[in-house]
Amino acid sequence: MRLQNVRVMGPTGLSLPTSIEVDAPGAVDRDASGLILSPGWLDLHAHLRDPGFPAKETLQSGATSAAFGGFTHVVAMANTDPVTDRPEQVRALIARAAGLPIRMSFVAAVTMGLEGQTLTDAVALQRAGAVALSDDGRHLMDLVTLRRALTAAAEAGLPLLIHAQIERLGDGPESEAAAVTQALEALAAVPRARLHVQHVSTRASVDLIRTAKRQGLPVTAEATPHHLALTAAEVVALGPQGNVNPPLRSVDDREALRQALVEGVIDAIATDHAPHDSGAKAAGANGFHGFETAVPVVMGLGLEDRVLYRACVERPREIIGQSIDEEWILIDPAAEWIVDASSFKSRGKNTPFSGRRLRGRIVMTLCRGQVVMERVMQHA
């Protein structure tokens, strides 16, 4: 397929309008004037609820939703039922994912059952195909266990992803800072280990990670679209629908995250896609749908295109050791639309952006040489 008059997003930003051949045999050539072609975005952090919670999401519904949101590769967390803490479970998930419209990788648990005590077999999990280890959703490891976990992950050649929250301290900023401090202390004591801090939400955490990077520690970090775009004050009226963990923070915290993203202190943007059925959300479940609003929310932050490329394409792949394949998304940056959660392909309709007018939308998603999603654009 030939796209004419398209701008291509790359490491230095956007190119001038050009004509480019995209690997999609049989697809119709098109005039892409005003559109942006980007390598597919990779989401480092998603909850696909499969196995165990089909009312919330399945691999199929999550993959379809991700394709509509512009993600050609999604990394699924281990807090399923049963927890993904054994090699045979990883192998089974990889086999099931082979027929999905996008690429999917799987994170295995650090500790059995996410209970923070008995370590999983990191080497066996890596051999089975896990791309990282994480107890995301929980953080029950003490300092000694965390050091052992980092050692095991290093021996397996895997990054360790941490949910930065000391649970006994609640979900306030001090809990996140304490968890980041603990993890960085453990990292400093373990040669060859790699640490990744998930869903950073506070200025204090940003400052700790910035200092650690300046000291040469191998730490990376991510922030979510909702923490980059919203504050606690903006979701008060939503009641339980505004619940997320970590919570949305202050304007100062949000600005610190944005600046850290520009600097590269925060390496990646990851959705923490956390779909829930309506009953669970009304009862207070934490988490937001992330896939189908991510591109316009992130593009609305006013970041330079080179920063978007680094945070959504390049660094996420580097963190889990993946290359940039021939996977593409076509974006209409001028398309304005009103978020209607009922139209989501995900089973989770729980979004804080419901009813908001966003600008920017995915026109086409291509993965493995196939057009897996094409949208007829209707501007709101």
Q: What backbone phi and psi angles, to 5 degrees, belong to 87?
A: -55, -40
Q: In whole angstroms, give the CA distance from residue 337 to residue 356.
A: 8
Task: Characterise 284 by phi-psi region: left (phi > 0), alpha (psi -120 to 50), beta (else).
Answer: left
Q: 265 phi and psi, to 5 degrees?
A: -65, -45
Phi, psi of 30 (to 5 degrees): -150, 155
What sign results for the dihedral spanned by CA atoms 167, 168, 174, 179? negative
Mutual orientation of helices 173-188 and 203-214 as an angle, nearest 10°? 10
Q: How many residues are given for the chain?
A: 380
8 A C-beta contact, residue 116 and residue 145: yes
CA distances from 18 to 2, 21, 32, 371 (A): 10, 10, 9, 21
| Torsion sign, CA atoms 128, 188, 134, 38 | negative
The conformation of residue 192, written as its DSSP 8-state character, comes to T
**Dihedral angle of Cα 17, 21, 22, 25, to the nearest 10 degrees:** 140
Q: Show the DSSP H helices in the chain as ranges.
A: 59-69, 87-97, 122-128, 143-156, 173-188, 203-214, 225-229, 251-263, 278-282, 294-299, 305-309, 315-319
Residues taking part in catalysis: 272
Distances (CA, A) of 191 to 46, 155, 161: 29, 10, 16
